[in-house]
Amino acid sequence: MQASTPEKLVNSTTVQLCYRGDVATTPVPDPLPEPLVELVAQRFRVLGEPMRIRLLDRLRGGSATVTELQEALGASQQNVSKHLAILHGAGMVSRTKEGNHARYAIGDPSVFALCDQVCGGVRRQVLALEAIIDDGDRPTAAPSPTRRGTSRRRAA
């Protein structure tokens, strides 16, 4: 039997279950069931593209059209549309029609809690690296000179 790909495991029902408003109060099973592992991994894959993080960050300030996002991010219309479609398919952004244009907005605000957690982890990592670098910049005590011709022997 061939293993199911995450795309085949994620359908509209599982997406709706995964993004319900009461998810935070529902205990997470331990160990995680395989379908849930695949859903979580798929969510991380969606967020693993820098352009999608930029789009979400821009939409944090309010809804926007593809053209507005394109201008704000300096990206092509095709690139912005492609990444918005992926974010929309994952339920992270919503889309409403306005005449000939579509307006995108944050569809799942909980994505920012995850981003804030990651940013906090990155911040701690940077501070730890800075501390290591700062320690390397401090002068170290010169090694004490050894006296030639003398040796310390232990008594047997």
3-class secondary structure, 15:
helix
Instruction: Indicate the pTM of the whole model.
Output: 0.65
CA atoms within 13 A on the CB side of 81: 6
- Calpha distance 107→94 (Å, rounded): 5
Closest CA to 18 of 37, 1, 3, 46: 37
- Please compute, for residue 62, the number of CA atoms within 13 A of its CA located in the half-sphere on the CB side: 2
Residue 115, pLDDT score:
84
CA-to-CA dists, residue 142 to 89, 92, 133, 137, angstroms: 62, 57, 19, 14
pLDDT of residue 106: 97
Q: Which amino acid is at 44?
A: F
Domain ranges within the chain, ordered by starting residue = 1-47
**CA-based R_g, the chain, Å:** 26
Could you identify the residue written with the tokens 């244009």?
101
* Pairwise CA distance, residues 112 & 104, whole Å: 16
What integer pLDDT is reported at residue 143 of this predicted model? 57
Per-residue pLDDT of the chain (156 residues; tens, 9 = 90+): 444 444 443 433 333 334 444 445 578 888 999 999 999 899 999 999 999 999 999 999 999 999 999 999 999 999 999 999 999 999 999 999 999 999 999 999 999 888 888 888 889 999 999 999 988 766 655 555 555 555 555 554
Residue 79: its pLDDT value, please?
97
Cα gap 149→139, rounded to integer Å: 30
**Predicted local distance difference test score (pLDDT) of residue 117:** 86
